[in-house]
Amino acid sequence: MDTNTILMIVGGVVLGIVLGYIIAKALEKNNASKLIKNAKSEANSILKEAKSEGEAIKKDKILQAKEKFIELKSEHEKVILSRDKKMAEAEKRTRDKESQISSELAKNKKANQSLEDKIKDYDFRLEFLEKKKEEVEKAHKSQIKQLEVISGLSAEDAKTQLVESLKGEAKTDAMSYIQDTLEEAKLTAQQEAKKVIINTIQRIGTEEAIDNCVSVFNIESDDVKGRIIGREGRNIRAIEAATGVEIIVDDTPEAIILSCFDSVRREIARLSLHKLVTDGRIHPARIEEIVKKTQKQIEQEIVEVGKRTVIDLGIHGLHPELIKLVGRMKYRSSYGQNLLQHSREVAKLCGVMAAELGLNPKLAKRAGLLHDIGKVPSSEADMETPHAILGMQWAEKHGEKPEVCNAIGAHHDEIEMTTLLSPIIQVCDAISGARPGARRQVLDSYIQRLKDLEDVAFGFNGVNKAYAIQAGRELRVMVESEKVSDEQAANLSFEISQKIQTDMTYPGQVKVTVIRETRAVNIAK
């Protein structure tokens, strides 16, 4: 090929490339314009939709704001109406009070005016009466002078003769009347008293049972006896030392006897044994722990018994300390008669008898229940005071009425009776104690001897506990190891035995055992 042909081919190729490029650019521009147009149309449609949605949201928010405004407005109106109502009511009350006050002022004004008028009238009448009195006195004096001239006696002589004659006649008439009245009163009083007492006794019927000095603790099998006794008797000694109760383990099948004159100690020992046997762990440390817990339990039970007794008898407003003393009477006896049952019976008898005589039965019940609280002293110093006087002192201390206090103190004639309630308490106490089988004199003297035996030991320094056991044939004395040495313990045993020998009357012999125990206690943490 020649050069021209090649040039033409090259030029055609270049021309084709240029035309192709121009065509491609034109097509690309056309496509871009279409895309822009489509994008603008889509943007316009989105804007329109957004605008419509914004308008809808705006309308919705405006509507909600209007509803909220209406709601707040209604609540505000309610508050305003409520305040207006209250203000109106307050104004009405104020007007009513003002009108009431004005009416009362008017009444007071009228009353004052009426009172002033009456005072003036009374002053006038008093002045008139004074004048009349002076006139009457003048007339009386002139008549007396005339009578003295006629009779030849002075007024004083005539008056003396008249008084002497009247005295003699009145004395004779009065003596005969008094004699007839006394005879009639004696017959009537005896009949009425017998009637009241018989009706009272018939309406109050109770069963009587003598309190004993022993309790029987039942066990499931005789194998338990060996566990209670312990190795070489250490458990039974620990129980006796902790409770002051004598434990008698003999051939009686399935039973252990607890002997003590103090029923509180017996009950503590019985409950402690029951807990120990149920738990199964019986050793000295456990025994001391159980006995302490049982003592607290008995104290709580005493309070509950007092509350139940007061509620049963319908007595209200009794001081808590007196309620506790009433509960303690459950574990005391008077000549073998349970003290709480005796006091309950006396309270019921007093209530019936007071009602028959037209007196206050509630006050009579109160005095009847409390008449023997002095028999449950809380300390040794109280034992020296007669129980009636001690009970009266406690009742006065805890705010009882004077009638009740006098009835308590006078029911054994240790003070003078000042109210009608006092003889009722005395009579009902005698009725309750005089029931057949109610009391046993020997038991009470026996218990008193055991108490006196323990009191002798408490009279020495360093004595912590003292227990009379084996029917008073042995006195066990627990001393404080810090205050009493071993040598002093031996001397103390001798001194106590000499004191018992010189001051007391007792059958047989009394063995005095002084126990001194030293303990070293540390705690591992």
Of 499, 484, 390, the residue nearest 452 (C-alpha): 499
- Give per-residue pLDDT as tens, 230-262: 777 788 888 888 888 888 777 667 778 887 777
Q: Which of 48-57, 139-148, 398-407, 438-447 has the lowest mean pLDDT?
A: 438-447
Percent of the chain with pLDDT over 70: 82
Q: How high is the pLDDT of residue 435? A: 58
Q: How high is the pLDDT of residue 199? A: 56
Would you call 78 exposed, middle or buried from its count of C-beta atoms within 10 A (0-12, 13-18, 19+)? exposed
* Phi, psi values for residue 258, rounded to 5°: -110, 120
Tokens of 319: 């001081």
Please say if the pLDDT value at position 439 is more than 50: yes
Average pLDDT rounded to a whole number, residues 218-233: 75
Please say if the pLDDT value at position 477 is more than 50: yes
Under the banding of pLDDT at 50, 70 and 90, the label for residue 207 is very low
Q: How high is the pLDDT of residue 208? A: 46
Prediction pTM value: 0.47
- Residue 279 and residue 236 in contact, taking contact as beta carbons nearer than 8 Å: no
Q: How high is the pLDDT of residue 436? A: 52
- Give per-residue pLDDT as tens, 273-316: 888 888 778 888 888 888 888 888 888 888 898 899 888 888 88
Please say if the pLDDT value at position 227 is more than 60: yes
Under the banding of pLDDT at 50, 70 and 90, the label for residue 184 is low
Average pLDDT rounded to a whole number, residues 380-386: 70
The answer for residues whose C-beta is within 8 angstroms of residue 508's C-beta and 6 or more apart is 473
Please say if the pLDDT value at position 180 is more than 70: no
Give the helix, strand, coil percentages of the chain, each rounded to 5.
75, 5, 20
In the block, tokens 């005089």 appear at 434
Tokens of 274: 């029951």
Q: How high is the pLDDT of residue 398? A: 87
Of 244, 248, 246, 240, the residue nearest 284 (C-alpha): 240
CA pair distance 266, 260, nearest whole angstrom: 6
CA pair distance 486, 516, nearest whole angstrom: 7
Tell me how crowded residue 131 is: count the other CB atoms within 10 A of its CB.
10
CA pair distance 292, 288, nearest whole angstrom: 6
- Give per-residue pLDDT as tens, 34-78: 888 888 888 888 888 888 888 888 888 888 888 888 888 888 888
Q: How high is the pLDDT of residue 504? A: 82
- Give 248 or 488, the one with higher predicted confidence: 488
Q: How high is the pLDDT of residue 377? A: 76
Tokens of 144: 């007396």
Q: Which of 111-120, 333-342, 456-465 has the lowest mean pLDDT?
A: 333-342
Tell me how crowded residue 440 is: count the other CB atoms within 10 A of its CB.
16
Please say if the pLDDT value at position 178 is more than 70: no
In the block, tokens 């009639």 appear at 184
- Give per-residue pLDDT as tens, 311-365: 888 888 888 888 888 888 887 776 667 788 888 888 988 888 888 888 888 888 8
